[in-house]
Structure 1
Amino acid sequence: MSTKDANLHEGGTPALYRRPVFAIAPMMDWTDRHCRYFHRQMTRHALLYTEMVVADAVIHGNRDRLLGFAPDEHPVALQLGGSDPVKLATAAEIAAEWGYDEINLNVGCPSDRVQSGTFGACLMRTPDLVAECVSAMKARVSVPITVKCRIGVDEQDPQIALDEIADKVIAAGADALWVHARKAWLQGLSPKENRDIPPLDYGRVYSLKARLGANFVGINGGIADLDESVRHLEKTDGVMLGRAAYHNPGLLADVDRRIFEAAEAPIEWPELIDRMADYCAAHIAGGGRLTHVTRHMVGLFHGLPGARRFRQILSTDATKAGAGPDVLHAAFGQIELDQARDAA
Structure 2
Amino acid sequence: MQAQPDIAVPLDRARRFSVAPMIDWTDRHCRTLHRLLTRHALLFTEMITTGAVIHGGAERHLAFGAHEGLVALQLGGSDPRELAEAIRIAAPYGYAEINLNVGCPSDRVQSGKFGACLMAEPELVAACVRAMRDATDLPVTVKCRIGIDDQDTEESLDRFADAMVAAGVAALYVHARKAWLQGLSPKENRTIPPLDYPRVHRLARRLAPLPMVINGGIEALEQAEAHLEHMTGVMLGRAAYHTPMMLADVDARLFGDTHAVPDLAAVMAAMADYAETELAKGNKLNNIARHMLGLANGRPGARQFRQILSVDACRPKTGPEVFERALAAVEDRGLAEAS
Give the TM-score band, short-chain normalised: over 0.9
Select which of 317, 321, 325 maps to 1:330: 325
**TM-score normalised by the chain length of structure 2:** 0.96
Match of 2:139 in 1: 144
Q: Give the counterpart letter for 1:324 in structure 2.
A: G
CA deviation profile, 1:53-79 (whole Å, cap 9, x unmatched):
001211121112101111111200110
- For structure 1, which runs of at least 5 residues remain unmatched after alignment? 7-13
Residue 132 of structure 1: SS of its match in structure 2? helix
Match of 1:10 in 2: none
Distance 1:20-1:288 versus aligned 2 partners, 3 A rule = closer
Q: How far does residue 304 in structure 1 lie from its aligned partner after superposition?
A: 0.9
Does the 8 A contact of 1:54 with 1:81 survive in 2?
yes
Q: How far does residue 92 in structure 1 lie from its aligned partner after superposition?
A: 1.5
CA deviation profile, 1:267-321 (whole Å, cap 9, x unmatched):
1222111110011111111111110100000011111111111011111111111
Q: Distance in 2 between matches of 1:101 and 1:20?
A: 11
Distance 1:77-1:105 versus aligned 2 partners, 3 A rule = same
Select which of 72, 89, 92 maps to 2:87: 92
Does the 8 A contact of 2:23 with 2:47 survive in 1?
yes
Q: Distance in 1 between matches of 2:14 and 2:271?
A: 30
Q: Does 1:43 align with 2:58?
A: no
Does the 8 A contact of 1:20 with 1:233 survive in 2?
no
Does the 8 A contact of 1:223 with 1:229 survive in 2?
yes
Q: How far does residue 15 in structure 1 lie from its aligned partner after superposition?
A: 4.0
Residue 73 of structure 2: SS of its match in structure 1? strand
Q: State the identity as a percent.
A: 56
Q: Structure 1 stretches (4+) deviating beyond 6 angstroms?
A: none
CA deviation profile, 1:115-168 (whole Å, cap 9, x unmatched):
101110011000011111111111111111100000000110110111111111
**TM-score normalised by the chain length of structure 1:** 0.95
Select which of 298, 304, 307 maps to 1:303: 298
Select which of 77, 81, 90 maps to 2:76: 81
RMSD over aligned Cα atoms: 1.8
Q: Distance in 2 between matches of 1:268 and 1:340?
A: 16
Equivalent runs, 1:241-256 vs 2, <5 Å: 241-256=236-251
Q: Distance in 2 between matches of 1:230 and 1:210?
A: 17
Q: Distance in 2 between matches of 1:83 and 1:110?
A: 14
Q: Does 1:189 align with 2:203?
A: no
Match of 1:11 in 2: none
Residue 80 of structure 1: SS of its match in structure 2? strand
- For structure 2, which runs of at least 5 residues remain unmatched after alignment? none
Q: Does 1:106 align with 2:101?
A: yes
Q: Give the counterpart letter for 1:205 in structure 2.
A: V
Match of 1:209 in 2: 204
Q: How far does residue 3 in structure 1 lie from its aligned partner after superposition?
A: 4.3
Does the 8 A contact of 1:20 with 1:238 survive in 2?
yes
Equivalent runs, 1:1-344 vs 2, <5 Å: 3=4, 15-18=10-13, 21-344=16-339
Does the 8 A contact of 1:305 with 1:339 survive in 2?
yes
Q: Distance in 2 between matches of 1:95 and 1:175?
A: 18
Q: How far does residue 20 in structure 1 lie from its aligned partner after superposition?
A: 5.7
Residue correspondences, number? 337
